[in-house]
């Protein structure tokens, strides 16, 4: 029952999280586009009011004409729209989802029994939370110290890159790949929301208060807010990759998974840079940013080539060294039947998938009819995605995965 309730919580939170993330990332992309596409106002009236840029757009049957006041407008309108719930609800739903899936079942999700550096489940929960908090403190410290200096953006960029690489490496040493990738994404996303919560919105509140009370407005608030908002835009693609990566076991279970994560996130940030600069290129403000897109795509292609599966002949080698006590590997020629598959599932899967005790995702693998019913899922999880056995506590060998493959491709016989 508990796992059924958690499954529902997981589903509803994930749904909410995706919706709010679309709203947040969508508005963030829109404002980056808007800001980079502004041109000096044509109208004398607008110039007199202190408008620094304008945009004309057509959308959904109407024409739009947003204008930007560099520091502040001459007077405040009655209704001022704020953008923060998109960010806050994305973080809150994401954190709740992290809790019901990863933290609640820390012993399964955050601890890899075959990893010598694995932590006790409680320590793993603390470490996961520390990733979110410590990264924010360090990143925020870097921005505070170097952000306002000359060439500050370049220094901050370089230091944050080093920090993210180190965090990715460390997470992959401590946590199973799936959790490590997700936590690095959650860590960046937490800092994105914290940027909104601790800098962007408070800065805007100060400006609004100054305007209301007729005090001069300090442009530093706008500058700082803009700086954090630019960082957020470079984090979006890497974060979305990290969030989606948990569907791809062959990515996050790779021996050098930390490098896979860094390369993929780097490619995401480079591609984002291409899109950001494209707006400026259209207005003749900077050269065509194709080198960024090319760099991102080359990194993706290089990663794909690097990770390509080992050819059959080489992969067959571990047969002889299959772990002692491993399920019997049926003769390579024939289709393995239930007599070969049953013991393999009992040994490697039933701890987490049994009718009597725990049945993760309601998959029970101790009865032939259930096995038949889940045949395709078993094949997908064990052979294609290599996600199961989760954390591979019993060291399922490649030869055993091959047995599952031949069983499935031979019609998944239950005899
Ligand atoms: C240590 C516990 C554990 C072991 C061992 C394990 N699983 Fe799982 N299994 C899980 C968890 C946890 C999930 C839910 C995965 C998720 O949410 O991504 C799951 C999900 C699944 C699913 C459903 C996937 C889906 O979302 O459709 C299948 C099928 C599956 N396991 C098959 C197997 C097979 C086959 C084995 C043995 C070769 C195995 N599992 C071993 C924990 C385990």
116-146 pLDDT tens trace:
877 899 999 999 999 999 999 999 999 999 9
| pLDDT value of residue 377 | 86
CA angle, 110 as apex, 106 and 112 as ends, to 5°? 120
Question: How far is CA 260 from each of CA 156, 189, 223, 248, 386, rounded to the nearest angstrom?
Answer: 23, 19, 34, 12, 16
Whether the per-residue pLDDT at 333 is higher than 80: the answer is: no
Q: What are the tens digits of pLDDT across the range 228-261?
A: 999 999 999 999 999 999 888 788 888 899 999 9
- Quote the mean pLDDT of the chain: 89
Identify which of 347, 173, 378 has the alpha carbon closest to the alpha carbon of residue 258. 173
What residue's CA is closest to ligand 1, atom 16? 361
Query: 125 CA distance to ligand 1 centroid (A)?
Result: 21
CB 17 within 8 A of CB 93: yes
pLDDT higher than threshold 70 for residue 401: yes
389 lines ligand 1 (CB under 6 A): yes
**How many whole angstroms separate alpha carbon 14 and alpha carbon 98?**
10
Decide if 229 contacts 200 (C-beta within 8 A): yes
Task: Say if ligand 1 is within 6 A of residue 102 CB.
Answer: no
Q: Which candidate, 309, 298, 305, 299, places its Cα nearest to that of 250?
A: 309
User: Which is the closest atom of ligand 1 to the Cα of 391?
Assistant: 1
Task: Report the distance separating Cα 262 and Cα 161, nearest Å.
Answer: 10
Q: Is the bond preceding residue 2 a cis peptide, omega within 30 degrees?
A: no
Closest Cα to atom 23, ligand 1: which residue?
361
Residue 369: predicted pLDDT: 87
Give every CB contact of residue 188 below 8 A, 6+ residues apart in sequence: 135, 164, 235, 238, 239, 242
pLDDT at 328: 47
Mean pLDDT over residues 329-338, rounded? 68
Q: What is the pLDDT of residues 339-395, one digit of tens each?
A: 899 999 999 999 889 888 788 888 889 888 889 888 888 998 998 878 899 878 788
**Confidence band (pLDDT; 50, 70, 90) for 330?**
very low
Ligand 1, residue 377: give the atom nearest the CA: 29
Ligand 1: does its nearest atom lie under 6 Å from the Cβ of 273?
no
320-to-10, 312, 328, 344 alpha-carbon distances in Å: 42, 15, 12, 17
Q: How many CB atoms lie within 10 A of CB 271?
A: 19
Give the Cα separation of 388 and 262 in Å (integer).
24
How is residue 359 written in tokens? 């049945």
* Contact call for residues 304 and 280 (beta carbons, < 8 A): no
Q: Is 397 in the pocket of ligand 1 (CB under 6 A)?
A: no
Q: What span, in angstroms and rounded, lies between the C-alpha atoms of 349 and 377?
A: 13
Burial of 257 (0-12, 13-18, 19+ CB in 10 A): buried
Using CB atoms within 10 A of its CB, is residue 315 exposed (0-12), middle (13-18) or buried (19+)?
middle
Mean pLDDT along residues 263-288:
95
The CA R_g of the chain, rounded to the nearest whole Å, is: 26
**Region 25-53: what's the mean pLDDT?**
93
- With b for 16 or more beta-carbon neighbours within 10 A and e for fewer, the 198-228 pattern comes to ebbbebbeebbeebeeeeeeeeebbebbebb
End-to-end CA distance of the chain: 32
Distance from C-alpha of 388 to C-alpha of 347, rounded to nearest angstrom: 13
pLDDT for residue 325: 47
CB of 262 shorter than 6 A to ligand 1: no
Residue 215: half-sphere exposure toward Cβ, Cα within 13 Å: 9
Do 382 and 356 touch, CB atoms closer than 8 A?
A: no
Q: What is the mean pLDDT of residues 52-69?
A: 95
Least confident residue range of 242-256, 271-285, 314-328: 314-328
- Distance from the CA of 381 to the center of ligand 1, in angstroms? 7
CA distance 158 to 162: 6
Residue 64 has pLDDT above 70, yes or no: yes
Residues 6+ apart with CB under 8 A from 57: 63, 64, 65, 66
The string of pLDDT tens digits covering residues 364-377 is 898 888 898 888 88
What whole-number distance in Å separates Cα of residue 168 and Cα of residue 343?
Answer: 37
Write out the two tokens for 154: 């370049």
Per-residue model confidence (pLDDT) at position 314: 47
């Amino acid at each position: 029952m508990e796992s059924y309730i958690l499954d529902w919580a997981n589903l509803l939170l994930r749904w909410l999280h995706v919706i709010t993330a679309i709203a947040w990332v969508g508005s963030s992309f829109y404002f980056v586009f808007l800001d980079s596409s502004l041109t000096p106002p044509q109208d004398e009236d607008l110039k007199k009011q202190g408008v620094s840029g304008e945009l004309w757009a057509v959308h959904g049957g109407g024409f739009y004409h947003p204008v930007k006041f560099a520091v502040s407008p001459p007077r405040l309108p009655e209704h001022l729209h704020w953008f923060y719930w998109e960010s806050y609800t994305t973080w809150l739903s994401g954190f709740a989802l992290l809790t019901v899936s990863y933290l609640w079942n820390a012993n399964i999700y955050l601890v890899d029994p075959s990893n010598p550096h694995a932590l006790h489940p409680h320590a793993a929960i603390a470490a996961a939370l520390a990733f979110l908090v410590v990264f924010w403190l360090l990143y925020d410290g870097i921005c505070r110290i170097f952000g306002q200096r000359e060439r500050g953006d370049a220094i901050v960029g370089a230091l944050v890159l080093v920090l993210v690489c180190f965090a990715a490496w460390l997470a992959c040493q401590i946590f199973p790949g799936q959790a490590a990738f997700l936590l690095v994404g959650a860590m960046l996303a937490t800092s994105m929301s914290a940027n909104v919560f601790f800098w962007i919105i408070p800065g805007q509140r100060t400006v609004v208060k100054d305007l209301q009370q007729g005090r001069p407005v300090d442009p530093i608030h706008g500058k700082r807010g803009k700086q954090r908002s630019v960082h957020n835009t470079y984090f979006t693609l890497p974060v979305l990759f990290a969030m989606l990566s948990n569907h791809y076991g062959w990515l996050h279970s790779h021996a050098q998974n930390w490098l896979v994560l860094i390369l993929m996130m780097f490619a995401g940030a480079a591609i984002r840079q291409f899109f950001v600069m494209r707006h400026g290129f259209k207005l003749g403000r900077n050269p065509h940013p194709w080198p960024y897109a090319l760099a991102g795509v080359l990194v993706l292609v290089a990663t794909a080539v690097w990770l390509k599966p080992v050819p059959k002949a080489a992969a067959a080698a571990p047969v002889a060294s299959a772990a002692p006590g491993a399920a019997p590997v049926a003769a390579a020629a024939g289709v393995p039947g239930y007599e070969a598959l049953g013991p393999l599932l009992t040994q490697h899967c039933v701890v987490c998938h049994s009718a009597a005790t725990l049945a993760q995702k309601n998959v029970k693998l101790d009865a032939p009819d259930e096995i038949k019913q889940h045949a395709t899922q078993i094949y997908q999880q064990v052979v294609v995605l290599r996600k199961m056995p989760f954390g591979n506590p019993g060291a399922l060998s490649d030869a055993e995965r091959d047995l599952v493959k031949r069983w499935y491709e031979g019609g998944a016989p239950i005899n």
